Chain A
Amino acid sequence: MTTSLKQNLQEPSIYLPTLAKIVEARPLTKLEKYLKIELPQGVSLDHKPGQFVEVSLLGVGEAPISISSSPSRSNGTFELCVRRAGDLTSALHSMGPGDVIGVRGPFGRGFPIERFRGKDMLFAPGGLGLAPLRSLINQVLDERGNFGRVVILYGARHPSELLFTDELAAWAARDDVEVHLTVDRGDEGWKGNVGVITTLFPKIEIYARNTVAVTVGPPVMYRFVLMELLGKGIPDGNIWLSLERRMKCGVGKCGHCQINHLYTCQAGPSFSYAEIKHLEEAL
C-alpha cells in the first residue's frame, strides 16, 4: 500500500508543498512543455482525471496546473503540460530533469468516469484543453471495454500548436478510436481540416442519448461548442466541461475562483452543463 500525497495535507499546514523531482522534460510546442514528476519514494498522487495540483517553486510562487496523465499510467509519477504564461510557468520552462518543484494536491472534483462507463465518448478539447483531457482519454482507452465509441475532435490555432502529436497519431491509428483534427490557420504541410473546432461537428454522427461529451478549452470556445453539442441532442447532464479560474489556494479558502456561490476548486473544475447552466458567471 503506497501512501498518498493527500495524507500530507494534514499537519502542519495545508499550504506546505511536498517536494517532488522532475524526471523528464521536453518541449511540446513553442509555448508548452511536458514535465514528468516523481513524488518522494512511496508516495502516489492518487488522482482522478480532471483534477489539478498546485505547483510551486520556492521563491517564485504557486499556480494550479491540471494533471495530464491518467491514473491508469501513474507508476509513482504524474505528468503536466505547462504553458508559459506567467512568472511561475516561465520558471518551470527553464527547468529540467533532476530539478525539484513543490506539489500540493490533487485538488478539485475530477470527471465522474464511473458515470461515463457504458456510454459513447465524444472528446472535444481546444488548444491547451487537451492537457487535462488527455488524462481522461488515456484512462478511457486503458479500460476500453467499458466504453462504446470513442471520438476525439481536437482543434488548435495552428499546426505548430497541436499538443501530444505522437499520441494523437497513435490514437488515430487505432481502429477503435476516431480522431478529427482542425486548425484555425493551416501551413504548407497541413493537409487536414482548416477552421475552428465547431467545423468538425458536422463530420460526425452520434447516438446522442447514449453519448457523453467532454470539452475543455478556453472560455470563448465553450459557448460555440455547447451549441453544437446541444444541437446534436446530447442531454445537458451528459455534457461535461472544465472551467478555468484563478484557483490560488486549491482548498476553498482564498476566494479567487468563485463562480457565483461555488468555489471552482472544490465544486469543480469539472462540471456538467446541467450543473452550471443556471449560473450567470459560469460561461
Chain B
Amino acid sequence: MSFKILSKSAIADWLDTLRVSNRVVGPKELHGRFVFGEIQEASELKLDYPTSVLPPKKYMLPQREELFRYQTDGSGMEPADEIPPTVVLGVHTCDLHAMRLLDRVFAQGYWDQHYLDRRARLVLVSVECLTPCMSHSFCKSMGTLSAPDNFDLHLTDLGSDYAIDVGSEKGAEILTGFSGVRDGTEEDYRRINRVMSEKWPRFPLRLDFDVTELPSVLSVSYGSKLWEELGQRCLACGMCTNVCPTCYCFNVEDEVDLSLKTGLRRRTWDSCQLDLFATVAGGHNFRKTRAARQRHRFFRKGKYQLEAYGLLGCVGCGRCAEACLVHITPVDTFNELYRRRVLRPATEVKA
C-alpha cells in the first residue's frame, strides 16, 4: 500500500500551488451551514464539514447552464464558453458514489458534451467521513461510506496530517512539485488503520433490511397505500430533488435580450415533484398527483436507475430528508415499504 502524507500545516501552501492553474473549490461556512464555493483563503476551507446544502454535482451540472448562444435570425450559433480546470476539495464518499451514476447517465447512449466536458476538467479530492454528518444520513446502509474508485485524491484525517490515497494520474499531477507531502510510513499505515477501526462503529445502520433487497421491496410496492399517504403530506416544492446528488432532470429554456437580436438556450434543474413536469402541450399531465410523483422519485432512487445504469439512485446522503418541510425521508419510506411489503412465499427459499 502506497500513500502520501500531507501535514495540515502545509495545506495553505498546497492551495496556493493549486490555484496557479486551477479554480479551487471546496466546503466553506455560510450562515451556519456549509456550501461548496471558491476557496480564496485556506482559512475558508472546512474539510471537516458535516454536509453541504447542495452537493458538488453543481460543478458538472450547474443549476443554470448555458448550452449555446445565438443570433435570433439564425446567423450565428456558438457553443458555450469553456470552463476552467477545477479542483474540488472535500467531496464526501456519498457524493463520489453519486457522481459515478451521473457519469454513466451522461455518457451512456448519447454523449452529453456539456456535462462530460465539465466533468473532464474536474479533479476530485475526496475525504473519508469519520463521524456521522447528521441524523438523516444513512450512507452505511447504502454502502456509500467508503470511497468508490473515481476519486483523484482521497484524504483521511489522521489528526495533525492527512493520509492521501492517489487514485489517478490527475491526482498525482496536482501533488507533483509540491514539497509539502512525503511518502507514508509503516507507522502512518498503523495510524490509518486505527482511525478506520474507530470510524465504523460510529455509524448506525438505519435501514431495517439489506439494501440489495430494495428493488424487490419496491417491485411489490407500486400499489402501496403509503404513496397516497406521502402524497397528502408532500407540498410538491421540489426541494428533495434540488438537493439530491443523483438527480439530474433538467428543463431547457431560451432567453432573449431586449433587442430581440441575440439570445441563449440554457438548461436548468427541473424536478419530477413539480406539477408540470410530465405535462405535455395540450395539457395532459401523465403524473397528476403528488402521490404518483413521490412514488416515481422513490422508484427511480431504489429501482429504475439500477435497472438502467447498474447503480442505485440513492446514496444515503440524507439531504432530501433534511430539506423536506414535511419530514418525508427515504429511511422512513423504505423501512415502511419493507414492513408492509407483500410477501411472495412461493418465490422465496425457506430454511
Tell yes or no: A28 within 8 A of B by CB.
no
Which of A11, A15, A100, A255 interacts with B68 by CB under 8 Å?
Answer: A15
Docked Cα-Cα span, A58 to B75, in Å, equals 11
Assuming the A-B contacts A58-B74, A60-B254, A85-B281, are A253 and B222 also in contact, with contact meaning beta carbons closer than 8 angstroms in the complex? no
A254 touches B112 (CB 8 A): no
Q: Which stretch in A139-147, A189-197, A240-248 binds the other chain?
A: A240-248
Tell yes or no: B249 within 8 A of A by CB.
yes
Which of B114, B270, B299, B303 interacts with A13 by CB under 8 Å?
Answer: B114
A14 touches B110 (CB 8 A): yes
Which of chain B's residues have a CB closer than 8 A to the CB of A261?
Answer: 299, 303-304, 307-308
Which of B222, B248, B280 interacts with A244 by CB under 8 Å?
Answer: B280
Tell yes or no: A97 within 8 A of B by CB.
no
A61 touches B112 (CB 8 A): no
B110 touches A252 (CB 8 A): yes
Report B238-251 CB contacts with A as 1/0, cut-off 8 Å: 00000000001111
A14 touches B304 (CB 8 A): no
A245 touches B248 (CB 8 A): no
Assuming the A-B contacts A58-B74, A245-B280, are A15 and B114 also in contact, with contact meaning beta carbons closer than 8 angstroms in the complex? yes
A246 touches B111 (CB 8 A): no
Docked Cα-Cα span, A149 to B249, in Å, equals 44
Docked Cα-Cα span, A226 to B337, in Å, equals 33
Docked Cα-Cα span, A266 to B108, in Å, equals 12
Which of chain B's residues have a CB closer than 8 A to the CB of A19?
Answer: 74, 77
Assuming the A-B contacts A11-B113, A86-B281, A261-B308, are A255 and B270 also in contact, with contact meaning beta carbons closer than 8 angstroms in the complex? yes
B113 touches A254 (CB 8 A): no
Tell yes or no: B341 within 8 A of A by CB.
no
A255 touches B254 (CB 8 A): no
A253 touches B74 (CB 8 A): no
B252 touches A62 (CB 8 A): yes
Beta-carbon contacts under 8 Å, A35-89 to B: 56, 58-63, 83, 85-86, 89
Which of chain A's residues have a CB closer than 8 A to the CB of B300?
Answer: 258
Instruction: Give the total number of A-B pairs whose CB atoms are below 8 A apart.
Output: 120
Beta-carbon contacts under 8 Å, A98-128 to B: 100, 102
Docked Cα-Cα span, A12 to B248, in Å, equals 21
Docked Cα-Cα span, A281 to B285, in Å, equals 12
A253 touches B254 (CB 8 A): no
Assuming the A-B contacts A253-B250, A261-B308, are A14 and B112 also in contact, with contact meaning beta carbons closer than 8 angstroms in the complex? yes
B280 touches A248 (CB 8 A): no
Which of chain A's residues have a CB closer than 8 A to the CB of B72?
Answer: 58-59
Report B102-140 CB contacts with A as 1/0, cut-off 8 Å: 000110111111100000000000000000000000000
Docked Cα-Cα span, A61 to B253, in Å, equals 6
Q: Which stretch in B26-34, B91-99, B271-279, B315-323 binds the other chain?
A: B271-279
Docked Cα-Cα span, A218 to B282, in Å, equals 10
Which of chain A's residues have a CB closer than 8 A to the CB of B50?
Answer: none
Docked Cα-Cα span, A258 to B300, in Å, equals 10
Which of chain A's residues have a CB closer than 8 A to the CB of B250?
Answer: 249, 253-255
Tell yes or no: A256 within 8 A of B by CB.
yes
Tell yes or no: B325 within 8 A of A by CB.
no
Which of chain A's residues have a CB closer than 8 A to the CB of B265?
Answer: 15, 56, 58, 62
Tell yes or no: A276 within 8 A of B by CB.
no
B67 touches A16 (CB 8 A): yes
Assuming the A-B contacts A251-B109, A256-B277, are A58 and B254 also in contact, with contact meaning beta carbons closer than 8 angstroms in the complex? yes
B270 touches A280 (CB 8 A): no
Beta-carbon contacts under 8 Å, B24-80 to A: 67-68, 70-74, 77, 79
Assuming the A-B contacts A13-B67, A61-B252, are A251 and B112 also in contact, with contact meaning beta carbons closer than 8 angstroms in the complex? yes
Tell yes or no: A9 within 8 A of B by CB.
yes
Smallest CB–CB gap between B260 and chain A, Å?
A: 7
Docked Cα-Cα span, A262 to B70, in Å, equals 33
Tell yes or no: A260 within 8 A of B by CB.
yes
Which of chain B's residues have a CB closer than 8 A to the CB of A10?
Answer: 111
A13 touches B68 (CB 8 A): yes
Smallest CB–CB gap between B215 and chain A, Å?
A: 11
B112 touches A253 (CB 8 A): yes
Tell yes or no: A237 within 8 A of B by CB.
no
Tell yes or no: A219 within 8 A of B by CB.
yes
Which of A59, A248, A255 interacts with B260 by CB under 8 Å?
Answer: A59
Report A1-38 CB contacts with B as 1/0, cut-off 8 Å: 00000000111111111010000000000000000000
B106 touches A253 (CB 8 A): yes
B252 touches A248 (CB 8 A): yes
Closest to A282 in B: B286
Docked Cα-Cα span, A10 to B131, in Å, equals 45
Q: Which of A11, A59, A260 counts the most chain B CB atoms within 10 A?
A: A59
Tell yes or no: B284 within 8 A of A by CB.
yes
Tell yes or no: B256 within 8 A of A by CB.
yes
Docked Cα-Cα span, A28 to B79, in Å, equals 37
Q: Which residues of A contact B (CB under 8 A)?
A: 9-17, 19, 56, 58-63, 83, 85-86, 89, 100, 102, 218-219, 244-246, 248-249, 251-256, 258-261, 266, 280-281
A-B contact pairs, 9 of them (CB 8 A): A13-B79, A63-B281, A83-B282, A253-B112, A253-B250, A255-B250, A256-B251, A256-B278, A261-B304
For the complex of A and B, 8 pairs with smallest distance between CB atoms:
A255-B249, A261-B304, A251-B110, A85-B281, A86-B281, A59-B72, A59-B256, A12-B79
Q: Which residues of B contact A (CB under 8 A)?
A: 67-68, 70-74, 77, 79, 105-106, 108-114, 222, 248-254, 256, 260, 263, 265, 267, 270, 272, 277-282, 284, 286-287, 296, 299-300, 303-304, 307-308
